[in-house]
Amino acid sequence: MAVLTGRVIFAGVFLMAVSFKFMGMGSTASYIAAAGFPMPLFLAWCAAILEAALVIAFLSGAYFREACLVAGAYVIFLGIAFHGPSHWAKNQDEFGFFVDHFTFLAGLLFAAAHGPGPVLSLKAASAPR
């Protein structure tokens, strides 16, 4: 049951993130532009699509390990790009936000290593022997 709870928490975090993007894609694009990235609206849509796919993977268990690894890379990218060392001088809280991304990564790596668990998991059919 703990594994399923973890999957639901991962899905919930990304569901909140994608919901905020869909409710304010322009605001998300502005935030991306302020960080210095080109094509901010395109990148905002890419992030929303990725986050929606992660929600589906976490809830269904499909491609779970791969989703955990992709999510881990994404989370660390976000931590560095939006809360990394260049932000610490302006606001010391940014360091805490940065570190939080690594704790999230730790959970994702643990989940990737152990899989989606037996409950509510889509599993690939075994090949006949």
CA atoms within 13 A on the CB side of 53: 13
* Residue 7 one-letter amino acid: R
pLDDT of residue 122: 67
pLDDT of residue 2: 87
pLDDT of residue 69: 98
Is the distance from CB of 117 to CB of 71 less than 8 angstroms?
A: no
Determine the Cα angle at 11 with ends 9 and 16, to 5°: 95
Prediction pTM value: 0.87
pLDDT of residue 27: 96
pLDDT of residue 124: 47
Which residues of the chain have a pLDDT value below 70? 122-129
pLDDT of residue 51: 98
